[in-house]
Amino acid sequence: MKPAATGLTPFVVPETARLEFDRKQLELVHARRGALQSAYATLEQNGVGFSRVDPEEVIQPPDLIGLARQIGGQVDVVEPTLEDYQDAHRRACLHEQPHPPDIKSDEMRDLIIWVMSLRLSRGSDGAVLVSRDVVHTHARGDTEAFQARLTRAHSPEDALECLEVQTPAGTLIQTVLASAWSQLRAEGLPLAKEPTLRAVADPVFVEGVAGLDTAECKVQIVADSGAVLTAMAVIKINPDGTETVRLADIRAGGDTLNDLEVNAPSPFRANQAGYTERLMAFRELLGEDQ
C-alpha cells in the first residue's frame, strides 16, 4: 500500500502482510536447508569429499523491510489498532462490505488489511492498495474505497499508473470527468458505481479567453466488471457553464464500444476578466514584445 501524495511518500506494509511474508519465507528456508542436508548425505554416501557449511548459516530468511530500505525505499510497518480488529471482526461475522456475499471463508486477515488501508487513506491525501485478494478488489468495496480516496491496484505496475492520476494534469482531468460519470453511465458506458480513474496519458490542455477551453487525453477507467476500460477523452468547456465530454476508441474487456458524447455541468466557470492580464504575462514569459 502506498499513500498517494506529492513528494517522497512511504510505502506502508501492514504488520499482517509482513508476518505472512515471513511465514512463507521460513517455509522456503526450511525446504532449502533440508535439501542442502540431503545433498550432504548423498555426497557422504558416495565418498565424495566436500567442505560442510551449516545450512542455518548459509541459508537465511530475507528481511523484507531491510531489503526495501537498501534500495532507497521509505518503508513503514503499521500495526493494526484495536479499532481495526474490532471493525474487521464485525465485518467478518456479518459478511459486511467489502466481503463478497458468496465467499465461504471469513478472510479475517484481508479484512484487517482493508480497514487499515481505509484508515490510513482517510488520514492522508489518499492511498493506493496493491492487492489481488478478492476481498480487496470486490465491487462491494467500491463506494467505501471511493469515499476514503483509496485506489486499488492489482500489481505494482498498476499502482504506478494509478499514481499518474495524482499529478496536476491527472487531477484536473479527474475533476472535469467527475461531473459526467452519471451521464456516461446512463448512455451505456459500463462504469462502476463509483468510477475510479486509473490512469491519464498524453494530456493536452487548451486555454481560451475565459479560462480552460479544451482538454484531451487517454484515460483508463475501472468498469463495473472490474476490467479496465480505455478511451480517448475530449472535454470541451462551454460558455454556459456546461461541458461536453466525448469518449472515442472505447475498449473494455477486449470489446470495442461505440463512441459516446454527453453534456454535464462543468466545475469551471467562465472568467474573462483576467484574460488580458494572463495574455500579457504569457507573452512576457515567451519574450515577445507587448
Q: What is the DSSP string of 32-86?
A: HHHHHHHHHHHHHHTT-------HHHHS----HHHHHHHTT--EEEEPPPHHHHH
pLDDT reading at 246 higher than 90? yes
- 144 sits in the region (left: phi over 0; alpha: psi -120 to 50; else beta) called alpha
8 pLDDT band (50/70/90 cuts)? very low
Instruction: Identify the domain containing residue 136 by its residue range.
Output: 2-161
Instruction: Give the domain-ending residue among 126, 143, 161.
Output: 161
- Sequence-distant (≥ 6) Cβ neighbours of residue 38 within 8 angstroms: none
149 vs 3: CA distance, rounded Å? 10
Residue 273 lies in a domain: no
- Give the pLDDT score at 244: 92
- Tally Cβ neighbours within 10 Å of residue 58: 10
> Is the predicted pLDDT of residue 124 greater than 90, yes or no?
no
What is each CA distance from 242 to 174, 218, 235, 238, in whole angstroms?
16, 21, 10, 5
Same domain, 14 and 149: yes
Residue 154 sits in the same domain as residue 236 = no
pLDDT of residue 31: 94
Q: Average pLDDT in the 69-87 region? A: 86
DSSP-derived 3-state class of residue 6: coil
Q: Is the pLDDT of residue 204 over 50?
A: yes
**How many domains is the chain built from?**
2
Distance CA 255, CA 236 (A): 26
Judge if 178 and 198 occupy the same domain. Answer: yes
Q: Is residue 130's pLDDT more than 60?
A: yes
**Angle of CA points 158, 121, 223, to nearest 5°:** 40
Taking residue 252's Cβ as centre, other Cβ atoms within 10 Å add up to: 19
Q: Is 276 contained in some domain?
A: no
* 281 vs 23, more confident: 23
Place of cell 486509473: 198
| 221 C-beta neighbours (distance < 10 Å), count | 25
Q: Taking every pair of C-alpha atoms in the chain, what is the biggest distance, in angstroms?
A: 93
The verdict on 30 and 52 lying in the same domain is yes
Residue 278 lies in a domain: no
Where in 79-158 does DSSP place strands (E)?
127-130, 150-153
Assigned domain for 118 exists: yes
CA distance 4 to 108: 26
Range scoring the smallest mean pLDDT among 61-70, 194-203, 235-244: 194-203
Residues 108 and 196 in one domain: no
Among 134, 161, 188, which residue terminates a domain? Answer: 161
The average pLDDT across 223-236 equals 82
Percentage of residues of the chain with pLDDT beyond 70: 82
Whether 285 is covered by a domain: the verdict is: no
Q: Which three cell numbers stand for residue 10?
A: 512511504
On whether both 119 and 135 belong to a single domain, the answer is: yes
pLDDT at 7 over 50: no
Taking only the tens place, the pLDDT of each residue in 15-24 is 888 988 999 9
> Does residue 274 lie within any of the structural domains?
no
Within this chain, do residues 97 and 199 fall inside the same structural domain, yes or no?
Answer: no
Residue 288 located in a structural domain: no
Say whether pLDDT at 148 is over 50: yes
Q: Given 143, 161, 179, which residue is the final one in a domain? A: 161
Mean pLDDT of the region 155-162:
71
Output the pLDDT for position 85: 86
User: How many residues would you count in the chain?
Assistant: 290
* Residue whose C-alpha cell is 515577445: 288
148 and 91 belong to one structural domain: yes
Same domain, 149 and 8: yes
Return the pLDDT at 288: 61
Least confident range from 10-19, 72-81, 95-104: namely: 95-104
Please tell me whether residues 85 and 221 are part of one structural domain: no
Residue 281 lies in a domain: no
Contact by Cβ (8 Å): 190, 252: yes
Bridge partners (DSSP) listed for residue 153: 130
Same domain (yes/no): 143, 192: no
Average pLDDT, the chain: 81
* 106 and 219 co-located in one domain: no
Looking at residue 6, its pLDDT comes to 39
Alpha-carbon distance of 201 to 135, in angstroms, equals 29
